[in-house]
Amino acid sequence: MRLDLGIKINHFCSSYLCRMLKSTLLEAAAEAGTIMQKSFNGNFKISNKAGVNNLVTEIDHASEKAIINIIKKNFPDHFILSEEAGEMVMDSEYKWIVDPIDGTVNFANGIPLCCVSIAIEYQRQIVMGAVFNPFINELFVAEKGKGATLNNKPIQVSSKQELASACLVTGFPYSLLDKENGPLDVFNKLIRRGIPLRRLGSAAIDLCWVAAGRFDGFYEHKLEAWDSAAGFLMVEEAGGKITDFSGSYYSPYQPQLVATNGKIHDELLACIRGED
C-alpha cells in the first residue's frame, strides 16, 4: 500500500514542486500563527455570521489575507477555498483549503485551543496538510504516503482495542441538537456508558490529537471542508481510519465524520447509528 501511495505522490508533484508546496504551506501556517499570537487577548472586532455563536473576528480576516497572499505569491494559478473569503476559482488541479482560525469562539474568548489549518488538494485528493496551534507551539504536518509528524517527530494513533476503554472527543453543531441520533443523543449514550468524552471547540485540533494518540476517536455530525481537510490527512497518515457515518469513504465535502485508531471504529459507528 505504501508503495502505491508513493507512486501517486510522484504523479502529483516533482521533487522540486513538492518542496515548494510544503515550503509555502509551512510559511503560510507560521505567518497566520504569528498574527494569532500577536492579537490574542487583545482588542479586536467580533461579529456573528449566520447561525448561533458562529463568530468571526477581524483576526480571522487578517490571518486569511496573509495566508492567501503567500499562496498567491508562489502559486498564483491555484484554486483556493477559504472559510471567510469563499472560493477563489482557478483552472488548476491544485486547491488550497484554508481555515484561518479553527476554533474562533475559543480564540475570541481567550482560550488557547485554536489553530490555523491548511490543506492542499490535488485531483480531489488531500495530499498535504498543516495544522498549527501557536499558543502551545504544536505544528502537525502530513504528506500523503509519507506519514504525519508533530514538531517534526512521527506520530501514530493509539492502540486501544475497545470503545469501553477509549477517550473520545466531539463537537456540537447547534442546528442538529434535537435530531434523532444527533449530537446530544450520541453524547448521552456514550457518557452513560462511562466513556470519557471531551469537547475542545476545534475540529482540526481534535483530528490531530486522534492522529497523535491522545484521543482514540472523534466524531461530528456537521463539518465543512476547511474544518477537516488537513486533520483528515493527519489521521490517515498516522495509521487511523476515517469514514462517514455509513462507514463509507470520507470526503471533506460531506458533513459527517468518524475518525478513530481503526480498532474501535466499528463499535463507535454502531453507537452513533443507534445500533448498539
CATH architecture of the domain with range 163-272: 3-Layer(aba) Sandwich (3.40)
Residues 6+ apart with CB under 8 A from 85: 64, 68
Question: CA 190, CA 89: separation in Å to the nearest integer?
Answer: 42
Give me the sign of the Cα torsion angle 30, 31, 36, 42. Answer: positive
- Residue 53, pLDDT score: 64
- Residue 42, pLDDT score: 85
Q: Where are the domains of the chain?
A: 2-154, 163-272
Outline where DSSP puts E strands in 103-225: 115-122, 125-133, 138-143, 147-150, 153-154, 168-170, 197-198, 217-220
Taking a C-beta distance cutoff of 8 angstroms, is the pair 214, 261 a contact? no
Record the pTM: 0.92
- Per the listing, cell 462517514 goes with 244
- Per the listing, cell 494569532 goes with 36
The CATH T-level fold of domain 2-154 is Fructose-1,6-Bisphosphatase; Chain A, domain 1 (3.30.540)
Report residue 81's pLDDT band, with 50, 70 and 90 as the boundaries. Answer: very high
Identical topology for domains 2-154 and 163-272: no
pLDDT digits (tens, 9 = 90+) for 17-75: 999 999 999 999 999 999 999 999 888 888 776 666 677 899 999 999 999 999 999 99
**Percent of the chain clearing pLDDT 70 (strictly above):** 93
Residue 216, Cβ density class (10 Å: 0-12 exposed, 13-18 middle, ≥19 buried): buried
